[in-house]
Chain A
Amino acid sequence: MHLPGALGPLPGHGYKEAPMPVPSPFHERTAPLCSSGLWKDWAGWLAVRSFDDHPEPEYFAVRTACGLLDVTPLFKYRVRGPGAAAFLAWVMTRDIRRLRPGRVAYCTWTDRHGKMLDDGTVMHLGGDQYRVTAADPAFAWLARSARRFPVEIEDETEALAALALQGPRSREVLEHLLQEDPGLRFFGHRRAVLGGVEVEITRTGYTGDLGYEIWIPRERALEVWDRIVEAGRLHALKPFGLDALDVLRVEAGFVMNGVDYWSAEHCLIERQKSTPFELSLDWTVQLDREPFQGQAALRAEKERGPRLRFVGLDIDWEALEALYDEYGLPAALPGRAWRDPRPVYGARRPGRRNQVGRATSGAWSPILKRNLALATLEAAHARPGTRLWFEVTVEYERRLVPCTVVETPFFDPERKRT
């Protein structure tokens, strides 16, 4: 008797709905180094969580020397044509018409109700050429929004491999490879020949440190990886994975789509949606200009003031230690960043459990020696210095530890910008 599904998924189901992640163009190099066997599915690509069992050495490489991360899974779209600038100014909350060639803008984009769809970057590649990078697939949405603009949109996610070279010594590694100062200011873009391969370099990243991202034709990916690793030997370069990145981005205070907020396209109900103001990304919204998607809703929200704000929390270490001590345990710290949401309660009557928001991700910061979280709180409770209560579960019991609202980024070195 043949049992459909017993030996594999049904045709037209299984593989199509949950395809196996595919190896990235760097897989030949990353796989032999990944002694931990810790992989995850990043947007359909096989991505290293950490090369060794614990991500901390990779984390420290990025904060004290430099690290190399495969970021090929970022979605990448080329937008070109005489209407490209006007089109991007229409879909993005920032006025892309004012983005000069050779510059990159961090952007948010929303639906017509001003609800977050995604965040990412727009690069002005020169002439009427732009690139959009995104966490979620955006082709259908871009194409739908582009109908009245003379533009072409091309999905270059597969054609373009990408590496993030991040950390205080990343400039020296690039200088060594290019035989000149990379000469890029924060959020700048340039073309370069790296080890005989024509690449693009941007001074961007998701670590909150000095760093670059390198955009490489897929078929030349391994050559570029090899040249960077070779040049990096003199600079203590270490390949790193997503677990280290998770800690780095919490320290940098960066929001993550699918963790700290959800794209309106994936939300089942209204209250699951967010706005750029609720994510404290006010500076990415330029209201006073020609119409853009979500403008009216965002203007109205700005006038009445956002209901929620995105903030940092510093969780009291001594209180956490005292709490665990009640159970005869040492304070437990997660070895990795966490992203299971936890309730946050108001300061006045902790016993009454007056919830004022949720912490959506957090990490112990090895370099700051602080227990950090990123949280979405009711605006009235989101002022820096506000004392709140953070829920922890100890021995299956829900307990509260005090925490303080603090400004992000938690970690913000001068070298990131200069």
Chain B
Amino acid sequence: MRPDDRSYTESHEWARLDGDLVTVGITDFAVQQLGEIVFLDLPAAGTTVQKGESFGEVESVKAVSDLYAPVAGEIVEVNAPLTEDQTALQEDPLGAGWLLKLRVADPATALEGLLDAAAYERHVAEAS
């Protein structure tokens, strides 16, 4: 079971709320499906993204995939070292391999409509 301190999307991103900041990453399932990650493109801090909008891309030997924002907000921090070296993303996608921190307008409703850990678990079971 994946951590239930956060929400998930069907496109395999995760989002964890802390005050008015949401930390965003991709799941271990996504990393496992991608295989060896060779390239990561992230936006600059200060950019605003809409929910469901592509904010970057991750490339592995198997595919190039878009990264989709699970929530809308202003990007306040980017895990920049990851764009040089993706080891942390490869090995700890739910922890040290986080991608972005977003400031959301309304923390109370920010994660509405996303999957909880149990629902994501079922989604992964269907996908694999």
Q: Which residues of A contact B (CB under 8 A)?
A: 94-95, 98-100, 103, 106, 185-188, 283-284, 286, 417-418
Contact = CB atoms under 8 A, between A and B. Distances in A.
B39 A187 contact: no
Contact of B38 (A94, A103, A283): A103
B64 interface: yes
Nearest to B62: A283
B64 A98 contact: yes
B105 to A, nearest CB: 31
A185 B61 CA distance: 10
11 contacts: A95-B64, A98-B64, A103-B38, A186-B38, A186-B61, A187-B38, A188-B38, A283-B62, A284-B62, A417-B35, A418-B36
Contacts of A94: 63
A368 B111 CA distance: 48
Contacts of B39: 100, 103
A418 B39 CA distance: 14
B59 interface: yes
B61 A286 contact: no
Contacts of A98: 57, 59, 64
A95 B57 CA distance: 14
A106 B62 CA distance: 8
A164 to B, nearest CB: 18
B67 to A, nearest CB: 13
Q: What are the 8 closest A-B residue pairs judged by CB atoms, nearest first?
A: A98-B64, A417-B36, A283-B62, A187-B61, A185-B38, A186-B36, A186-B61, A186-B38
Contacts of B63: 94, 283, 286
Interface string B54-66: 0001010111100
A103 B59 CA distance: 10
A388 to B, nearest CB: 23
A93 to B, nearest CB: 12
A384 B11 CA distance: 26
Contacts of A106: 61
Given A283-B63, A417-B36, 6 more contacts: A99-B64, A103-B59, A106-B61, A283-B62, A286-B63, A417-B61
A103 B64 CA distance: 11
A105 to B, nearest CB: 8
Interface string B34-52: 0110110000000000000
Contacts of B59: 98, 100, 103
A100 B40 CA distance: 12
Contacts of A283: 62-63
Nearest to A416: B36
A187 B60 CA distance: 9
Contacts of A284: 62
A100 B61 CA distance: 12
A94 B65 CA distance: 12
Contacts of B64: 95, 98-99
Nearest to B57: A98
Nearest to A282: B62
Contacts of A418: 36
Contacts of A187: 38, 61
Nearest to B36: A417
Nearest to B87: A418
A187 B59 CA distance: 11
A162 to B, nearest CB: 20
Contacts of A185: 36, 38
Contacts of B38: 103, 185-188
Nearest to A185: B38
B41 to A, nearest CB: 10
Nearest to A286: B63
Interface in B61-114: 61-64
Interface string B5-38: 0000000000000000000000000000001101
Contacts of B62: 283-284
A185 B57 CA distance: 18
